[in-house]
Structure 1
Amino acid sequence: MTAPGFRIPARLQDTVRRWTDGAGEAWLTALPRLAAESLARWDLVLERVCEPGGQISLVLLVRRADGTPAALKIGYPHPEGAQEHAALTHWDGHGAVRLLESAPEDGTLLLERLNSEVPLLSLPEGKAMLEALGALRLLWVAPPEQHDFTLVADYVQGLREALARRRDLPAAAELLPLVDEALELSAALLADATTRDERLLLHGDYHHGNVLAAERSPWLAIDPKPLVGERAYDLAWLVQDRLETLAGSPGPEAAARRRLHRLADDAAVDRDRLRGWTLFRTVEAGLWSLDVGDTQHASLYLEFAAMI
């Protein structure tokens, strides 16, 4: 089988190499072969590579045999994305991109084509937050009765263990009060969650960059890392969106708290639970970024966590 000729986006190469500590090199080498197999499997014609594309996925713009435009996504294999196809199947285009075909064993999905050049990031923040919450509400549905989605409680326990290990990083020496608060809050949230029994299908990685304009709906979500749990956990990642803009605004601390309170009230979730999950997820992301050498994002995450 002849591999298609295309250039792997620089961002994809960079993030896979940095985030996988060299383990992703074999996958990058195999990408042309994986693409050729998928193009042949579903009788697709390659148009072009989507640039810059995903951080850990190759996205090819293609046409199906009947001329319909579509997007072929080949993702780096990782546990968080293993159930993307199952979530998209369950949503069936309601609030999210529609799944056309899938080969989950290869991390390959054929998706309806959205307007990748018009994410919610293209809108002013206030309008984007309003649209984002409206689209996210559509995704919060009951999971299938028999499902394999990871529960928030199980996933967070793994994150807590990793955060506790990264607490000893030399660069985290001055962050111990913030890290300890994140660990304490997450433990309390998990303990209390057992009495709430809010088990909804969550996106898991919901932010303005993961919501694109579409023809059949104004906005549709992409790239879920699905979990089952409470809405406040899902909403937390939206609270810390556009950190660069927030950090540069007048009175960023007050602006961060206003954003958190507004989203909590609009989504009818408890403010304290949303703050707790936001703090935990942001601190965890900050120390993970420190661990992989991404000091720029680590600084933004940790500054925001201190604000709230």
Structure 2
Amino acid sequence: MGPDGQRWLDDLPRLVGELEQAWGLDVEGRGLPGGSASWVGRARDADGRPRVLKIGMPGHDLDDEARVLGLAAGRGLVGLRAHDPGRNALLLDELGPSLEAAVLPVEEKLEHLAAALTLVWEIPASALTPPGPGEDKASTLTRLVLDTDTRLGHPTPPAVLDLALEYAARRVAAHDPDRCVVVHGDPHPANALSTAPAPGDDGLAYRLVDPDGFLADPAYDLGVVLREWTGRLGERPRERLEGWCTLLADRCRLDAQVVWEWAYLERVSTGLHVLDFGAERMGRRFLDSAATLLTGR
């Protein structure tokens, strides 16, 4: 956390108290579990309605998240009720348990994620600034994979690294700013929380939280959706994952091979990323699973 983080933590009770006064809230004293870069706690507004207060840590600016949530206006994403840039705080609708915790078949979970994402992708792309040259998602992931693999002493199996870079090069070559949409950026099941259906969202059962919100190929979001599920791949992992790629691609009217390429690149880049911050077992799990997917090529 460092000195800045500790000062922020020490100052957190004052921040919460000021926001209670500014927004007419009654905030529970104990924060919710799961936040890695923010304090998140339950609250009730002046009318007794359940809300969630989110306060970003130093270095974790919530302005971009607030902008995307405001543009979405609750379609596919959690509803935003207020934003205080000076205190780096958001007031959000309270949602229910996560899709990760739901006892559902994988295919049904994928359908729920796709339903929310297709609404997120309707946010006008013109509202965000396009990535500059070399800053599209595939280019940044290429650099992440190469730099991290080198710095960590080449933990990635050579065949896995070669395939990830091949897919990354294809996605760089295919990048078309005119076909980019506003993507969530991190739509894993723990970021999908249950919700009551609302008018205009086709009976949506889950809304997404914590959007990164940038312009990219919509198939990128589906690749993120599929980067894990390692424990559910079974004895024929490639066949199973290809089936899920097809399911999502058909549901979202995208190309299944493109979804596969993003999913593989995300699996490898995420493995290296988590290895880099010291989660050896989790990182190896991602990279080992990427190696098992080489069979059947």
Shorter-chain TM-score: which interval?
A: 0.7 to 0.9
SS of 2:212's equivalent in the other structure is coil
- Equivalent of 1:72 in 28, 47, 53: 53
Query: 1:1-20: per-residue Cα shift (whole Å, max 9, x none)?
Result: xxxxxxxxxxxxxxxx4xxx
8 A contact 1:57–1:75 mirrored in 2: yes
Query: 1:203-255: per-residue Cα shift (whole Å, max 9, x none)?
Result: 11101111111124422111111111211111111112433x325x3333332
- Equivalent of 1:276 in 251, 261, 265: 261
8 A contact 2:54–2:91 mirrored in 1: yes
Query: Normalization by structure 1: what TM-score?
Result: 0.82
Structure 2 residue 276 is the aligned partner of structure 1 residue 291 = yes
Structure 2 residue 114 is the aligned partner of structure 1 residue 133 = yes
User: Hey, what does 1:169 align to over in structure 2?
Assistant: 151
SS of 1:101's equivalent in the other structure is strand
8 A contact 1:282–1:302 mirrored in 2: yes
1:26 & 1:183 partners in 2: Cα distance? 41
Query: 1:114-168: per-residue Cα shift (whole Å, max 9, x none)?
Result: 11x3435413122211222112111111425343475796252333323221121
User: Hey, what does 2:18 align to over in structure 1?
Assistant: 37
Report deviation, 1:23: 6.4
Structure 1 residues 241 and 162: CA distance shift in structure 2, 3 A: closer
User: Hey, what does 2:235 align to over in structure 1?
Assistant: 250
Structure 1 residues 142 and 99: CA distance shift in structure 2, 3 A: closer
SS of 2:90's equivalent in the other structure is strand
User: Hey, what does 2:215 align to over in structure 1?
Assistant: 228
Structure 1 residues 70 and 173: CA distance shift in structure 2, 3 A: closer
The letter of the residue matching 1:232 is A
Structure 1 residues 47 and 179: CA distance shift in structure 2, 3 A: same
Aligned residues: 285
Report deviation, 1:65: 1.5
Structure 2 residue 90 is the aligned partner of structure 1 residue 104 = no
1:208 & 1:262 partners in 2: Cα distance? 17
8 A contact 2:27–2:42 mirrored in 1: yes
Structure 2 residue 192 is the aligned partner of structure 1 residue 211 = yes
Structure 1 residues 253 and 105: CA distance shift in structure 2, 3 A: farther
Report deviation, 1:60: 0.8
Structure 2 residue 263 is the aligned partner of structure 1 residue 263 = no
Report deviation, 1:259: 1.7
SS of 1:206's equivalent in the other structure is coil
8 A contact 1:240–1:304 mirrored in 2: no
User: Hey, what does 1:179 align to over in structure 2?
Assistant: 161
The letter of the residue matching 1:132 is L
2:153 & 2:23 partners in 1: Cα distance? 48
- Equivalent of 1:47 in 18, 22, 28: 28
Report deviation, 1:34: 2.7
Structure 1 residues 80 and 198: CA distance shift in structure 2, 3 A: farther
1:235 & 1:113 partners in 2: Cα distance? 25
SS of 1:110's equivalent in the other structure is strand
Report deviation, 1:199: 2.0
Report deviation, 1:176: 3.4
CA RMSD of aligned residues (A): 2.7
The letter of the residue matching 1:58 is W
- Structure 1: gaps (5+ residues): 1-16
1:212 & 1:51 partners in 2: Cα distance? 14
- Equivalent of 1:122 in 75, 98, 102: 102
8 A contact 2:56–2:88 mirrored in 1: yes
Structure 1 residues 239 and 112: CA distance shift in structure 2, 3 A: same
Structure 2 residue 182 is the aligned partner of structure 1 residue 201 = yes
- Structure 2: gaps (5+ residues): 199-204
SS of 1:136's equivalent in the other structure is helix
8 A contact 2:227–2:264 mirrored in 1: no
Query: 1:45-102: per-residue Cα shift (whole Å, max 9, x none)?
Result: 1135353232322211111122221100113355685411111101101111110001
8 A contact 1:90–1:144 mirrored in 2: no
